[in-house]
Amino acid sequence: MFAGLGLEQPSRLTLYTDALIIRGLIRTRQHRITDILNSADEPYLVLEEVTTEEFGSRASAERADYAQVNLDAVLFAVSDTEVDPVAELRTPKSAEKAIISIPPFKLSGSIHVLPGRDMREALQELQGKFLPLTDVTYWSDTVGEPRTSVHVVAFNHRRAQIMAPHKEVDPWAGLGTGGATEGGGKGTDQPTGDSWTQGDPGSASGW
Contact 158, 176 (CB under 8 A): no
- For residues 143-155, b (16+ Cβ closer than 10 Å) or e, as one string? eebeeeebebbbb
Residue 200 included in any domain: no
Residue 113 included in any domain: yes
- End-of-domain residue from the set 46, 79, 112: 79
Give the dihedral sign, CA 1/27/103/140: negative
User: 75 and 97 in one domain?
Assistant: no
User: 118 and 57 in one domain?
Assistant: no
Q: Look at residue 192 in the predicted model and tell me its pLDDT.
A: 38
Residue 58 included in any domain: yes
Q: How far is CA 180 from the centre of its chain?
A: 39
User: 118 and 73 in one domain?
Assistant: no
User: 65 and 14 in one domain?
Assistant: yes
User: 99 and 65 in one domain?
Assistant: no
User: 18 and 54 in one domain?
Assistant: yes
User: 29 and 68 in one domain?
Assistant: yes
Residue 206 included in any domain: no
The domain in which residue 57 lies consists of 3-79
User: 11 and 63 in one domain?
Assistant: yes
User: 104 and 65 in one domain?
Assistant: no
Q: Look at residue 56 in the predicted model and tell me its pLDDT.
A: 77
Q: What is the CATH number for 141?
A: 2.30.30
- End-of-domain residue from the set 79, 100, 126: 79
Residue 169 included in any domain: no
User: 70 and 8 in one domain?
Assistant: yes
Residue 194 included in any domain: no
User: 159 and 104 in one domain?
Assistant: yes
Residue 201 included in any domain: no
User: 97 and 67 in one domain?
Assistant: no
Counted domains in the chain: 2
pTM of the predicted model as reported, rounded to 2 decimal places:
0.73
Q: What is the CATH number for 11?
A: 2.30.30.100
Contact 207, 99 (CB under 8 A): yes
Q: Look at residue 6 in the predicted model and tell me its pLDDT.
A: 63
Residue 97 included in any domain: yes
- End-of-domain residue from the set 15, 45, 79: 79
Q: Look at residue 82 in the predicted model and tell me its pLDDT.
A: 60
Is residue 95 helix, strand or coil? Answer: strand
In this prediction, the residues of the chain whose per-residue pLDDT falls under 70 are 1-6, 82-91, 165-207
Q: Look at residue 34 in the predicted model and tell me its pLDDT.
A: 92
